[in-house]
Amino acid sequence: MNRRWTAAVAGGLALLTAVTVSACSGAESTAAEKAVEARDYVALGDSYAAGVGAGNYGDTECKQSRDGGYPRLWVKARAATPFGAVTDATCGGAVIDDVQFNQLTELDENTGWVTLTVGGNDAGWFSVLQQCMFGDGATCQTSVDKAATSFETTMPARLDTLYQAIRNRAPNAKVYVAGYPHLVADPGRTGVSCDSLTDAHRKALNAGADTLNELIKARVAAHQGFTFVDVREAFKGHEACTQEPWIHSVRDDLSESYHPTADGYQAYLKELVAVTG
């Protein structure tokens, strides 16, 4: 499931490190060595982290985009100041437990950077979308409310456990938790046909997305060294059912439905760069 796609830093940096470390003594040497080692990057999470919707997938199991997901884009954007080793542990369909028990093995004290998107599948968001697409406004609202109640009740503790596990395994890492965009245009916004998603459906779906994002944001704020990356504003005006959507509507490949396009993942990259520099 886990795939490493770049090697450690180039020999010139390794040589500089060796010279620097040799010039230090005792505890100073250990501290300098740690500072250099904690440069590895590990990408964690679900389909939104893997780049589903961007195409050019490296496998059929996890559907990691080879070049379109925000982790790959971020690595490319940092070419002038590269990471050490880079590992992509993301997998489409992942839930919190998948990340905690299957992906965190890639983390260690050398990990300096972690990105993560997870929680949408735990909220049953795809099922909610189906209810809204094929049901009336009341059915959609009931489905959204039920999902919101479920994840407000159970998800905070599960996210806290996951975030603490990340910190335990990667004590030196900066962790960036990216949220989810609104999937459909706000009610009343002009654009293209939204199929069966009426204004009532769209209002309910976007309110549910806000609840999920705010819950994740609150739990991230409770953990030192964690930063929430909010992408909702970046996608505004480019949701599904707009004239220039960065979110796919229903696709022949259903796994890509209501996932970002290549342009959508560029929006993720922009917000990630804004908080990481």
Q: Annotated active-site positions, please?
A: 47, 259
Q: Enumerate residues 6+ apart whose C-beta is below 8 A from 81.
A: none
63: left (phi over 0), alpha (psi -120 to 50) or beta: left
CA distance linking residue 30 with residue 20, whole number of Å = 11
46: left (phi over 0), alpha (psi -120 to 50) or beta: beta
DSSP H/E element including 194 = none
CA distance linking residue 34 with residue 30, whole number of Å = 6
SS3 label, residue 114 = strand
DSSP letters for 215-264? HHHHHHHTSTTEEEE--TTTTTT-SBTSSS-SB--S-SSGGGTTSB-HHH
CA distance linking residue 216 with residue 24, whole number of Å = 42
CA distance linking residue 159 with residue 218, whole number of Å = 10
Pseudo-torsion of CA 57, 117, 258, 212, nearest 10°? 170
Phi/psi at 164 (5° precision): -70, -35
